[in-house]
Structures are given as C-alpha cells and as structure tokens.
Amino acid sequence: MTEAELHILKSSIGKVVRIICHEGETMLARIHTVSDEDEDVIYDLISTTKESQYEKHDEQPAYLIRFRDIERVEPFPAS
C-alpha cells in the first residue's frame, strides 16, 4: 500500500472504498477508523470475493485489517 492509498483510506472515513488484499480477496468496505499507530483499519464489510471466510450474523460486525495485508486501495465512486 502506498502513501497515496493510505491517504485515500484516511480521507474515506464513513465512505466506501475497494480494498485488494495480497492473498487475492477484493472487498468493498465502509471505513470506520484508520490507525497509524496500530497500522490497521476497522471497517464494515459490504461485499467480498471470499464470502466463505466470513461468518454470517444477523448484524454485521466491524472487521479489522492490517496495513501489511492490503495490496491496493481504490476509491469507490458510489460512496
């Protein structure tokens, strides 16, 4: 993840972005917080290419992803 992509995450609090992970997952996520100190992002999962790795809940929990697991971040125009 580049500094520009980190800036996209930080400026997208409350908005939706596309996150591409190193292991191949692509997701749409609504960003809650971005922590430089912990080097992670807390988000709500909107959609993913790897549905099977997430448990189904009546209410969707927030998830955490580490900066090191993110390959690329792209703004999502409809957010």
The kind and range of the H/E element at 48 are strand 40-48
pLDDT, one tens digit per residue, over 10-55 is: 999 999 999 999 999 999 999 999 999 999 999 999 988 886 665 6
pTM of the model: 0.85
Domain parsing of the chain, residue ranges: 3-75
DSSP letter, residue 61 = P
CB 28 within 8 A of CB 76: yes
Span 3-75 CATH architecture: Roll (2.30)
Between 25 and 56, where is the model more confident?
25
Q: What is the pLDDT of residue 42?
A: 97
The terminus-to-terminus CA distance of the chain in angstroms comes to 21
Cβ neighbours of residue 15 under 8 Å, at least 6 residues apart?
30, 31, 75, 76, 79
CB 41 within 8 A of CB 9: yes
